[in-house]
Structure 1
Amino acid sequence: MIRLDENEISFPDPELYDGHEGIVAFGGDLSLERIWFAYQLGIFPWFNPGEEILWWCPDPRFVLFPEEIKVSKSMKKILARNVFTFTENTNFRKVIKSCRDIGRKGQSGTWLSDELMASFIKLHDYGLAKSVEVWQNEELVGGFYGLQIGNVFCGESMFSKVSNASKAGFIHFAQRYKDKLELIDCQSHTDHLESLGARMIPKREFLKILHKNNEYR
């Protein structure tokens, strides 16, 4: 792995460099500029608070093509009944805080540090990060956030306080943007997203799609 210089914003080319289990670099910082540059290259930070910053570009990559979204019969009924309503960018801070604080099965803590949260909030303030909110009876019950790079949405984290909330929000988002987004980057495998149609593709295929509208390539 390559150690990053805190005084220089640069990364190894993930297309040419295969790090250990998808880790391409470590160190550096979590400045807005470094995070934005990393995502332009297909790299994302993922590490436990208090540990060294790790930068990832796994191969294969877990993604969803919006036109391949799978909607079960039960979810079709829920969506048809308008159990939930959806908004975008109405409360980014509450969404990201909920993603940090929500309890997750098999996890005792969170990877979302205060510093990383602060950087994503700045990215949102600059119009680079967005949130999707899921409401029920005027209460925020689910949602997710991420960055959009050209025609690729890079999903970061999601939360759900009631059954099917985040799933409904993800389906709504994929269906709404199926003609505008070529790809939703899910980063790492989860059974939850696989059930909705997400699948693995080679890293090179992912990077080729990402770089179509990438100013750095």
Structure 2
Amino acid sequence: MTIANLPAIRACRPAWNKGRVIGQKRPLMPKHVWAIRVRLEIAENHRDLALFNLAIDSKLRGCDLVKLKVADVYASGQVKERASVIQSKTQGPVRFEITEGTSKSLARWMDEPLMVGSEFLWPGRFHERLHISTRQYARLVREWVSFIGLDATSYGTHSMRRTKVAQIYKKTGNLRAVQLLLGHTKMDSTVRYLGVELEDALAISESVEI
């Protein structure tokens, strides 16, 4: 009796991206930003409110945001109006503004007992971890958007980075300004990041009635 050599049967593993939305994450709309702020203020969650506000203002990548030090945004007993940091990805500097609301939330966070003597702006809970991780930050973003009923799979840490620049481009059409604020070295990167060509095409299409 001849036994055929059949290929080994392997268990089918689910795709790593099953059930996930892959691709660019949506920026938050102004109404979403204010809704999240209100929820965090009501909860008196000073750390998350300061982190959320600074994420919007700074437009930093998550890896740079979580590593911010107190000295980056605080000097001479007060929060700076503007700050500058070196980006991990490009090793180039990027500057950002700290608006009044963000300044107030940061100052409130600085008064927390956990911040006494802390070098990092978002200290970790354990001694071996000096600051929160990017994974923790991503989890917080999911919680924030879920708070106000948004689909967490459609938003992520890059939503925070894109939120303010999306509004700036929408109101001014100034790509160069957006490029500088994001710290991109090439304009092409900014165009792709904003999805400008697609958004412009859709806007044109929506304005034409036939």
TM-score by length of 1: 0.27
Larger radius of gyration: 2
The structure with the largest helix share of the pair is: 2
Greater per-residue strand proportion: 1
**TM-score, normalised to structure 2's length?**
0.27
